[in-house]
């Protein structure tokens, strides 16, 4: 009798097997269907988390994964390759071997040899094919996207839509007024003059659209003058010299999310792109961090399917209304970073649950087979005040009229994180600490202080306004009472803005 020949499963096939096992299939049935012995099945089940992680890292097609002899060198090299691919620069085998030798030298590894055999092993271990690395096009690999979407149900099996999150950053020219649209549009903003007018905003929400995490804003100034007297900012704020996301800031943000989930006794899964600012993250107990495949975020990242654009639409509407109000009051419309925070928080509040859930569906995050998602724009690009502003205030603005969509998309390509040089990459994987200088704040006007009595009078006016209006939901009065209670409970004699009380 001939010996039975068993099948060797790829990582993706193992993931599907795990999904079938979670759905209730017996072990004997799985062994027969996949032509594997019981010992192999038990080993696959035992390595559940490792297999899921390998599939997320893009190793789904591999059948055998061997450990690297010099893991630090390969981690540095993979980070460097990601950056080069994102910049659409061709890479060859000799280039990879030479770069590996440089990293080994910087890591003080003397016996490393970047041979042809090592290169082949490195490519297999990290699922690297030169057809994906090289070339003159930075287009999305549709086959890779389809493979990712096919594996998503198994990856999300242990999580409800409420616990599946995506996070992404966006650059924002927060000071920019409508008449500066063409001045700013298309500018790379690497640093210097325009960097004083931009911030980076981190946006995160869950798959069901029921939970939007608080915005995280990164500016350039450490102590803007407009913060004087402010004890509660509308959004979380940090700073660095270029107003960019860094791995340290992102790690701190993740730790805060992890602490919040621990308090709620929840475990979530967080999808992010593989930019350098997201690398070398700590392992957390309540947040599982998973990376989207390189060069696919335009199709696979929910935030890029319309969520961030919707946020910017609402933000620009706030700016337009502010400019009109300033002109009507014969004031110069200037936006400081505190005002930008207020606009951003209100804009994020306005992004709907439907928009968020549809953007996740468009990116392939579907629990079951559903119909095509509805439009994610919801006619948000319509801004009635835009044409009125140009019609009535022609003397205050440029003669060349931009469209509202020009105004919304002017900062779509602004950089949000810094590319690492070789020393930065080595520092990431050799545990070397680097400190970043902090700047003094720029000059901003000090906000007018609001007393507790004035806040209570404002609430009374608001109450009377709704009494004289036709409203569908009388619960608005209960919300006003809740705010009154918080105002009375505060120890401070002054408050900066009544909206600080809205959570």
pLDDT of residue 461: 93
Q: Is the pLDDT of residue 379 over 50?
A: no
Q: Measured between alpha carbons, how far is 81 from 95 in angstroms, rounded to an integer?
A: 10
Pair 20, 31: CB distance under 8 Å: no
Q: Is the pLDDT of residue 51 over 60?
A: yes
Q: Is the pLDDT of residue 305 over 90?
A: yes
- Helix, strand and coil content of the chain, in percent to the nearest 5, comes to 50, 10, 40
Q: Dihedral sign for Cα 45, 48, 50, 51, please.
A: positive
Mean pLDDT, rounded, for 39-43: 84
Mean pLDDT, rounded, for 467-495: 81
Q: Measured between alpha carbons, how far is 218 from 422 in angstroms, rounded to an integer?
A: 25
Q: Residue 54: pLDDT band by 50, 70, 90 thresholds?
A: low
Q: Residue 444: pLDDT band by 50, 70, 90 thresholds?
A: very low
Q: Which residues pair with 268 in a beta bridge?
A: 287
Query: Does 391 or 118 have the greater pLDDT score?
Result: 118
Q: Is the pLDDT of residue 304 over 80?
A: yes
**Structure token digits, residue 424:** 């930065």
CATH fourth-level superfamily of 160-409: Ribonuclease H-like superfamily/Ribonuclease H (3.30.420.10)
Pair 199, 337: CB distance under 8 Å: yes
Q: Measured between alpha carbons, how far is 290 from 418 in angstroms, rounded to an integer?
A: 21
Pair 495, 232: CB distance under 8 Å: no
For residue 214, give Cα distances in angstroms to 136, 226, 237, 345.
Answer: 39, 21, 11, 8
- In this prediction, what percent of the chain has a pLDDT beyond 70? 74
* Out of 182-196, 303-317, 467-481, least confident range: 182-196
pLDDT of residue 339: 92
pLDDT of residue 190: 52
Mean pLDDT, rounded, for 227-251: 88
pLDDT of residue 286: 94
Q: Is the pLDDT of residue 484 over 50?
A: yes
pLDDT of residue 265: 93
Q: Measured between alpha carbons, how far is 10 from 7 in angstroms, rounded to an integer?
A: 10
Q: Is the pLDDT of residue 480 over 80?
A: yes
pLDDT of residue 495: 45
What is the per-residue pLDDT across 319-330, written as a single tens digit (0 to 9) for each? 888 888 888 888
- In this prediction, what percent of the chain has a pLDDT beyond 90? 25
- Of 33-37, 186-190, 308-312, 431-435, the range with the highest mean pLDDT is 308-312
Q: Which residues pair with 199 in a beta bridge?
A: 172
Mean pLDDT, rounded, for 172-198: 65
pLDDT of residue 438: 37
Q: Measured between alpha carbons, how far is 113 from 304 in angstroms, rounded to an integer?
A: 41
Mean pLDDT, rounded, for 4-25: 74
Considering only CA atoms, which of 383, 376, 391 is closest in space to residue 315?
383
pLDDT of residue 251: 92
For residue 64, give Cα distances in angstroms to 15, 34, 176, 339.
Answer: 14, 17, 53, 55
Q: Is the pLDDT of residue 56 over 50?
A: yes
Give the pTM.
0.68
Q: Residue 435: pLDDT band by 50, 70, 90 thresholds?
A: very low
Mean pLDDT, rounded, for 479-497: 75
Q: Residue 496: pLDDT band by 50, 70, 90 thresholds?
A: very low
Mean pLDDT, rounded, for 309-317: 92
Q: Is the pLDDT of residue 187 over 50?
A: yes
DSSP sequence for 234-300: SSEEEE-TT--B-HHHHHHHHHHHHHHHHHHT--EEEEE---GGGSSPPP-SSEEEEEPPTT-HHHH
Mean pLDDT, rounded, for 478-497: 76
What is the per-residue pLDDT across 278-303, written as a single tens digit (0 to 9) for each? 887 888 999 999 998 877 888 899 99
What number of residues does the chain have? 503
What is the per-residue pLDDT across 116-161, written as a single tens digit (0 to 9) for each? 888 888 887 776 665 444 333 355 678 888 888 888 888 888 899 9
Quote the mean pLDDT of the chain.
78
pLDDT of residue 357: 94
Pair 246, 436: CB distance under 8 Å: yes
């Amino acid at each position: 009798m001939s010996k039975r020949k068993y099948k060797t499963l790829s990582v993706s096939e193992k993931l599907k097997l795990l999904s079938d096992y979670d759905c209730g299939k017996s072990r004997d049935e799985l062994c027969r269907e996949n032509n594997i012995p019981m010992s192999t099945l038990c080993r696959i089940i035992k390595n559940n988390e490792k297999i899921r992680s390998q599939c997320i890292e893009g190793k789904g097609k591999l059948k055998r994964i061997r450990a690297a002899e010099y893991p630090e060198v390969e981690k540095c090299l993979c980070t460097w390759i990601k950056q080069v691919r994102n910049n659409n620069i061709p890479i060859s085998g000799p280039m990879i071997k030479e770069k590996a030798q440089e990293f080994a030298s910087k890591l003080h590894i003397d016996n490393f040899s970047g041979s042809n055999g090592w290169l082949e092993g490195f490519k297999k271990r990290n699922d690297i094919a030169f057809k994906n690395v090289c070339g003159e096009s930075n287009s999305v690999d549709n086959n890779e996207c389809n493979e990712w979407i096919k594996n998503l149900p198994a990856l999300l099996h242990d999580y409800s839509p409420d616990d599946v999150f995506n996070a992404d950053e966006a650059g924002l020219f927060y000071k920019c007024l409508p008449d500066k649209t063409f001045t700013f549009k298309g500018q790379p903003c690497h640093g210097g003059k325009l960097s004083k007018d931009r911030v980076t905003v981190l946006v995160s929400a869950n798959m069901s659209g029921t939970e939007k995490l608080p915005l995280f804003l990164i500016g350039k100034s450490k102590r803007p003058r407009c913060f004087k007297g402010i004890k509660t900012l509308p959004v979380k704020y940090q700073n660095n010299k270029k107003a960019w996301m860094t791995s340290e800031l992102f790690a701190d943000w993740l730790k805060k999310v992890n602490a919040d989930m621990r308090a709620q006794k929840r475990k979530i899964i967080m999808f992010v792109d593989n930019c350098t600012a997201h690398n070398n993250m700590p392992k957390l107990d309540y947040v599982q961090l998973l990376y989207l495949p390189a060069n696919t975020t335009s199709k696979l990242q929910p935030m890029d399917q319309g969520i961030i654009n919707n946020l910017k639409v609402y933000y620009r509407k706030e700016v337009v209304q502010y400019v009109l109000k300033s002109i009507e009051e014969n004031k110069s419309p200037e936006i400081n970073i505190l005002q930008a925070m207020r606009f951003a928080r209100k804009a994020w509040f306005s992004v709907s649950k439907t928009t968020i859930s549809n953007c996740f569906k468009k990116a392939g995050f579907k629990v079951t087979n559903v119909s095509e998602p509805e439009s994610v724009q919801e006619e948000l690009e319509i801004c009635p005040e835009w044409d009125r502003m140009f019609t009535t205030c022609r003397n205050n603005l440029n003669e060349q009229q931009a469209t509202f969509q020009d105004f919304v998309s002017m900062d779509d390509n602004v950089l949000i994180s810094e590319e690492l040089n070789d020393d930065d990459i080595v520092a990431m994987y050799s545990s070397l600490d680097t400190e970043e200088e902090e700047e003094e704040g720029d000059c901003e006007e000090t906000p007018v202080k609001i007393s507790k009595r004035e806040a209570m009078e404002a609430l009374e006016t608001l109450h009377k306004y709704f009494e004289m209006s036709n409203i569908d939901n009388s619960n608005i009065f209960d919300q006003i009472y809740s705010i009154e209670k918080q105002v009375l409970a505060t120890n401070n004699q002054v408050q900066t803005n009544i909206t600080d009380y809205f959570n």
